[in-house]
Amino acid sequence: MKFKFITQKINDSDPENVKIDTIEYHFLRTLNTEKMYKDDTDNEFNMQIGELVSRLAKAEKDNTNPEALAEVSSLNFIDTRHEVLKYMYAVENDGVLVQNDKTREEFETLELEDNQVFATFLSKLYGA
Protein backbone atom coordinates (compact mmCIF):
# COMPACT_ATOMS: atom_id res chain seq x y z
CA MET A 1 0.00 0.00 0.00
CA LYS A 2 1.26 3.45 -0.81
CA PHE A 3 -0.08 6.94 -0.44
CA LYS A 4 0.98 10.53 -0.93
CA PHE A 5 0.61 13.35 1.54
CA ILE A 6 0.30 16.62 -0.35
CA THR A 7 0.89 19.94 1.34
CA GLN A 8 1.52 23.50 0.30
CA LYS A 9 4.27 25.81 1.45
CA ILE A 10 4.76 29.51 0.81
CA ASN A 11 7.94 30.14 -1.15
CA ASP A 12 8.96 33.70 -0.38
CA SER A 13 12.60 33.41 -1.44
CA ASP A 14 11.86 36.16 -3.97
CA PRO A 15 9.86 38.87 -2.14
CA GLU A 16 8.59 40.26 -5.44
CA ASN A 17 7.33 36.90 -6.67
CA VAL A 18 5.86 34.94 -3.75
CA LYS A 19 4.65 31.49 -4.80
CA ILE A 20 2.83 28.61 -3.19
CA ASP A 21 4.72 25.38 -3.77
CA THR A 22 2.89 22.04 -3.70
CA ILE A 23 5.00 19.33 -2.10
CA GLU A 24 4.30 15.59 -2.23
CA TYR A 25 5.58 13.21 0.42
CA HIS A 26 5.48 9.49 -0.33
CA PHE A 27 4.60 6.75 2.14
CA LEU A 28 4.83 3.03 1.50
CA ARG A 29 3.70 0.07 3.56
CA THR A 30 5.03 -3.28 2.45
CA LEU A 31 6.07 -6.52 4.13
CA ASN A 32 9.61 -5.13 4.08
CA THR A 33 8.43 -1.98 5.90
CA GLU A 34 6.82 -4.14 8.55
CA LYS A 35 9.93 -6.33 8.86
CA MET A 36 12.22 -3.30 9.29
CA TYR A 37 9.86 -1.92 11.93
CA LYS A 38 9.75 -5.23 13.82
CA ASP A 39 13.53 -5.73 13.61
CA ASP A 40 14.29 -2.22 14.89
CA THR A 41 11.55 -1.72 17.48
CA ASP A 42 10.59 -5.27 18.58
CA ASN A 43 6.95 -4.29 18.00
CA GLU A 44 4.48 -5.60 15.45
CA PHE A 45 3.54 -2.96 12.90
CA ASN A 46 -0.11 -4.05 12.67
CA MET A 47 -0.41 -4.14 16.45
CA GLN A 48 0.86 -0.56 16.74
CA ILE A 49 -1.52 0.68 14.03
CA GLY A 50 -4.40 -1.18 15.67
CA GLU A 51 -3.62 0.40 19.03
CA LEU A 52 -3.44 3.88 17.50
CA VAL A 53 -6.73 3.41 15.64
CA SER A 54 -8.41 2.00 18.75
CA ARG A 55 -7.38 4.98 20.87
CA LEU A 56 -8.41 7.46 18.19
CA ALA A 57 -11.80 5.77 17.81
CA LYS A 58 -12.32 5.81 21.57
CA ALA A 59 -11.56 9.55 21.73
CA GLU A 60 -13.77 10.32 18.72
CA LYS A 61 -16.65 8.24 20.08
CA ASP A 62 -16.73 10.19 23.32
CA ASN A 63 -14.83 13.45 23.00
CA THR A 64 -15.90 14.45 26.51
CA ASN A 65 -14.03 11.55 28.11
CA PRO A 66 -10.90 13.11 29.66
CA GLU A 67 -9.14 9.72 29.84
CA ALA A 68 -9.62 9.03 26.12
CA LEU A 69 -8.54 12.56 25.19
CA ALA A 70 -5.47 12.27 27.44
CA GLU A 71 -4.50 9.01 25.68
CA VAL A 72 -4.51 10.54 22.18
CA SER A 73 -2.60 13.60 23.34
CA SER A 74 -0.03 11.66 25.37
CA LEU A 75 3.61 11.69 24.35
CA ASN A 76 3.58 7.89 24.04
CA PHE A 77 0.70 8.02 21.52
CA ILE A 78 2.36 10.84 19.55
CA ASP A 79 5.74 9.06 19.56
CA THR A 80 4.19 5.79 18.37
CA ARG A 81 2.29 7.54 15.57
CA HIS A 82 5.48 9.33 14.54
CA GLU A 83 7.47 6.08 14.58
CA VAL A 84 4.91 4.29 12.39
CA LEU A 85 4.95 7.14 9.86
CA LYS A 86 8.73 7.32 9.93
CA TYR A 87 9.00 3.70 8.84
CA MET A 88 6.47 4.21 6.05
CA TYR A 89 8.16 7.36 4.70
CA ALA A 90 9.77 6.78 1.30
CA VAL A 91 11.67 8.86 -1.22
CA GLU A 92 11.56 8.44 -4.95
CA ASN A 93 14.85 7.32 -6.48
CA ASP A 94 14.87 6.76 -10.26
CA GLY A 95 11.12 6.18 -10.19
CA VAL A 96 11.29 3.67 -7.33
CA LEU A 97 10.19 4.34 -3.77
CA VAL A 98 13.00 3.63 -1.31
CA GLN A 99 12.91 3.17 2.46
CA ASN A 100 15.97 2.81 4.66
CA ASP A 101 17.85 4.38 7.57
CA LYS A 102 18.47 7.52 5.53
CA THR A 103 14.80 8.04 4.70
CA ARG A 104 13.89 7.61 8.38
CA GLU A 105 16.53 10.20 9.30
CA GLU A 106 15.14 12.53 6.64
CA PHE A 107 11.61 12.10 8.02
CA GLU A 108 12.84 13.37 11.39
CA THR A 109 13.80 16.68 9.76
CA LEU A 110 10.46 17.26 8.00
CA GLU A 111 8.01 19.76 9.40
CA LEU A 112 4.87 17.70 8.90
CA GLU A 113 1.84 17.45 11.13
CA ASP A 114 1.87 13.76 12.09
CA ASN A 115 -1.84 13.78 12.88
CA GLN A 116 -2.73 15.03 9.38
CA VAL A 117 -0.42 12.53 7.69
CA PHE A 118 -1.77 9.69 9.84
CA ALA A 119 -5.35 10.73 9.00
CA THR A 120 -4.40 10.53 5.31
CA PHE A 121 -2.99 7.04 5.90
CA LEU A 122 -6.16 5.91 7.70
CA SER A 123 -8.39 7.23 4.94
CA LYS A 124 -6.31 5.31 2.40
CA LEU A 125 -6.28 2.22 4.61
CA TYR A 126 -10.04 2.18 5.01
CA GLY A 127 -10.81 3.27 1.46
CA ALA A 128 -12.22 6.70 2.25
> Each residue of 27-58: pLDDT tens digit?
999 999 999 999 999 999 999 999 999 888 88
pLDDT of residue 128: 58
How buried is residue 41: exposed, middle or buried, by Cβ count under 10 Å (0-12/13-18/19+)? Answer: middle
pLDDT of residue 97: 94
Q: Are 93 and 106 in contact (CB under 8 A)?
A: no
Is it the case that residue 14 has pLDDT exceeding 90? no
**CB atoms < 10 A from the CB of 27, how many?**
25
Three-class SS state of 18? coil
Amino acid at position 88, single letter? M
Buried b (16+ CB within 10 A) or exposed e, 56-90: bebbeeeeeeeebeebbeeeebeebbbbbbbbbbb
Q: Are 120 and 5 in contact (CB under 8 A)?
A: yes
Q: Are 98 and 35 in contact (CB under 8 A)?
A: no
> Each residue of 63-119: pLDDT tens digit?
888 888 888 888 889 999 999 999 999 999 998 999 999 999 999 999 898 989 999
Domain of 64 in residue numbering reads as: 2-125
Three-class SS state of 64? coil
pLDDT of residue 80: 92
The domain total for the chain is 1
Phi-psi region of 106 (alpha: psi -120 to 50; beta: other; left: phi over 0): alpha
